[in-house]
Amino acid sequence: MSAMPALTHEEARSRARLIDVRHYTVDLDLTRGEEVFGSTTTVRFTTREAGDTFVEVRPRTLHRAVLDGHALDTAPLTDGRLPLTGLNAGEHELRIEADMAYSRTGEGMHRFTDPADGRTYLYTMCFQTEAPRVFAAFDQPDLKAPFTVTATAPEEWTVLGNGTAHRVEGEPGRWECATTPPLSTYLMALAAGPWHSVRTEHAGIPFGLHVRQSLGSHLDDDAQELLDITRACFDRYHEIFDEPYPFDSYDQAFVPEFNAGAMENPGLVTFRDEYVHRSAVTGTQLQSRAVTIAHEMAHMWFGDLVTLRWWDDIWLNESFAEYMGYQIITEATRFTGTWTEFAVDRKSWGYDADQRPSTHPVAPEPQDVPDTATALLNFDGISYAKGASALRQLVTWLGEKAFLAGINDHFARHRFGNATLADFLDSLARASGRDVHAWADRWLRTTGVDTLTPHITTDGRRWRLETTHTGDRPHRLTVGLYDLDDRDGTGAEDRLTPREPLTADLPADGGHTLSADGPRPDLVLLNDRDLTYAKVRLDADSWHTARRALAHLPDPLTRATVWNAARDMVRDGHLPPADYLDTARAHLPHERDDAVVAGVLDFARHEIADRYLPPEQRTAALETLTDLVRALLESEPAGAGRDGGVHLTAVRAAIDSATTPGDLHHWWTTGTLPGGRPLDHELRWRLLHRLAVLGAVNTSDIGAAHDADPSATGTEGAARCRAALPDPAAKEAAWQALFDETDTLSNYLLKATLQGFWHAEQQDLLRDYVPRYFDQAPALAARRGPAIAQALGRHGFPRPFTDPGTLALGQRCLADDRLTPALRRSLADELDDLARALRVRAAH
């Protein structure tokens, strides 16, 4: 298959000036075997003047191309581009017939055969640049057109598409999808296979849930909740948006080996099928799934109805969907703690990304996104979490009424078209009468995280808060004030009683001062309620109070804000990692919000124990975590049903933090975990993986577990466990499976093998693989594309080796001009995190 060069912004603008696409007819033949499918594309387009252009297509075999009834020479097809030369002004029709290759990397048309039952499923992921692996296209977001899609599939299959799909009478296996409104090429979607489906109708719109047959019973268990969430989001969006849902159906397909969390294809949203749970999950996991449902539905308006013109404006898609996902779930469902999870999980993703050299503005200038390869790298914590945080601050500043009025103005002006940042800001300015453009220059065109530091003085009758501000954004925030209430005078029952909070407007160019009567509060917390995006510090007295009574702050979002401040202080070298661990040991056993528990445990386990503390202190840190988790388990009942809550989070942490196999072996052999929790699918594989890391099981044990669970999840779990064995032959076998040029591993099996490979307990065994990683990863990334490159960077980086030698090897690799953009970005981020860990160690 030909490689596809990045489309440049200038090429896209030039082509958009020349042509207007009128209609795509795409006919797919899914009956040609396991390697290829047939793809016939007919594109009707007009040219405004005489000129030359090109169409993108990435075939295994290009059979023919016909332009206006005349066959084209296909030999000039180069790098996935077929030139169209000598075009006259007027209407044209291009027909391209090809065989396309199925994908195993989650890009283009992905093909998956379920190991549980041998059934095969297909789905498209056309996002950004992958549409030409499915059909011929003028592949850029501002050349929108209606699609009519047909497909021939095995007779027992069901075909799903952007428009309502139906069987063609008298033609077995033949399906036709209703013609869509104008769509960008990256949003064309099709899924085919013997799906297990649950269908209903809401507000006159057909709704459907679809999953592979082996997960059908689990979908049936989840269907009521999934549909309730979907209906609640649908109704809430129709309350706040004037524009009704713009497509003819709403299918949600949970598909295997999906790289993203989900994809907002109009009328056919695709999700990773791990969202159909086959084991116990926490309330936070259920809430996160609900947020994802709301996020993708928001895209039906933000991105699908109104689409960005070029990829510099991905914030118009992702930041809005991220914000709306959390806000709508809070307003419309039983999940009212979404912003706590956002603060603990998503926001830290944004903060971390924004402090690396690879940071970029939420809305970069067009010249800073010169091509699609650059744009792909910006789908990160900045475009999602920081962008959503900026919107939350904007709503705080403008008020929700003006904000929603601006959104509706934007939809009305650009429905089924394309828009830019300037277009949207104009709509907000009209609705609010505020200088939104100036706000955007400060918030959306700048990089980095502001830091807000309190300085508190008192004269006995009044106290005074002066906030210094490192950064250049204005902030409207809440200042939380809390007093200790030692009820019995012993300190054993410390409580924090809130005073009336203060509101502060910090200017972009300096600090801010507040003063109030009475004694100073024991705890002064900047950005209480987490309404702005900034690192906040605690003054010495407030931190002392937090260390004494953090668990007794009345609101989980307030507690999350304090934990985030402590996390930032560790990362910036201002708080010893051991102090964070001690604070967690003291307060986390009293925490009842699962998102807070999960976030603190994850940071303590994977950053503090594994990286920020020197290696000789790691075992002691894990033993502290084991004690912490034991206290959590004693204080939290196991619960019932599928919502495992804090207890399930603690059980997972108990497994992951174990330094010896004793308890783990007992749990494995009895099939029961602390609190009587049964050892379900997910926990069995987690437990077996930890036993493998500790050298307490062998390949026969792993094989027996796989025989008992031959599902896709079981196959991935077995690959992860085999790679984790502390055995030279097992490590070398895993390495060959990863890097052998046959490239047989699918995206998920490659990720599972990478996740099993590197462990701090096995440094002596793994040391020689560190230079091999930097030598071989670039070639693998170049062969297999961006999705594999990102997995290689994220899961394959030798994280246990937090030392200057690894940093030097990585920097040498980073200097290689042959690195693909996706791997270069991943490596740069990992190396910056490694350098930060070394600085934290040096500081303490």
830-841 pLDDT tens trace: 999 999 999 999
Bridge partners, 199 (sequence order): 208
Per-residue pLDDT band for 643 (boundaries 50, 70, 90) equals: low
pLDDT of 641 above 50: no
Phi/psi of residue 203, nearest 5 degrees: 55, 35
Q: Which two three-digit tokens encode residue 408?
A: 């509706």
Predicted confidence (pLDDT) per residue in 176-214, tens digit: 999 999 999 999 999 999 999 999 999 999 999 999 999
According to the model, what pLDDT value does residue 717 have?
Answer: 98
Beta-carbon count within 10 A of 471 CB: 18
Stretch 353-363: mean pLDDT:
96
pLDDT of 150 above 90: yes
Bridge partners, 137 (sequence order): 56
Per-residue pLDDT band for 9 (boundaries 50, 70, 90) equals: very high
Predicted confidence (pLDDT) per residue in 596-612, tens digit: 999 999 999 999 999 99
To the nearest 10°, report the CA torsion of 513, 519, 521, 522.
130
Reference 181, options 250, 134, 268, 246; nearest CA is 246
What is the distance between the alpha carbons of residues 77 and 593, in angstroms, rounded to a whole number? 57
Q: 160-164, 478-482, 610-614, 642-646: which range is least confident on average? A: 642-646
Mean pLDDT (the chain) is 95
Cβ contact 388:323 at 8 Å: yes
Percentage of the chain lying above the pLDDT 90 cut: 94
pLDDT of 635 above 90: no
According to the model, what pLDDT value does residue 637 have?
Answer: 72
For the chain, which domains are there?
A: 9-194 (2.60.40.1730), 212-248+256-438 (1.10.390.10)
Coil, helix or strand at residue 491 = coil
What is the H or E stretch that residue 192 is in?
Answer: strand 190-193
Q: Which two three-digit tokens encode residue 720?
A: 């992860």
Stretch 331-352: mean pLDDT:
97
According to the model, what pLDDT value does residue 636 have?
Answer: 75
According to the model, what pLDDT value does residue 495 have?
Answer: 86
Bridge partners, 207 (sequence order): 200, 250
Q: What angle do CA 234, 148, 189 make, to 5 degrees?
A: 55
Cβ contact 604:351 at 8 Å: no
Using the CB atoms, write b or e for 68-107: b if 16+ within 10 Å: eeeebebeebeebbbebeebeeeebebbbbbbbbbbbbbb
According to the model, what pLDDT value does residue 494 have?
Answer: 74
Amino acid in the structure at residue 466: E
Cβ contact 447:354 at 8 Å: yes
DSSP state of 119: -
What is the distance between the alpha carbons of residues 123 and 106, in angstroms, rounded to a whole number? 9
Active site residue 296: yes
Name the E strands within 474-518: 475-486, 494-498, 502-506, 512-517
According to the model, what pLDDT value does residue 492 have?
Answer: 47
According to the model, what pLDDT value does residue 1 have?
Answer: 38
- Which among 296, 318, 322, 636 is annotated as catalytic? 296
According to the model, what pLDDT value does residue 486 have?
Answer: 66
Predicted confidence (pLDDT) per residue in 274-294, tens digit: 999 999 999 999 999 999 999
Q: 57-61, 507-511, 625-629, 684-688: which range is least confident on average? A: 507-511
Reference 266, options 326, 205, 313, 335; nearest CA is 205
Coil, helix or strand at residue 576 = coil
Reference 224, options 268, 153, 167, 286; nearest CA is 286
What is the distance between the alpha carbons of residues 705 and 677, in angstroms, rounded to a whole number? 19
According to the model, what pLDDT value does residue 2 have?
Answer: 38
pLDDT of 361 above 90: yes
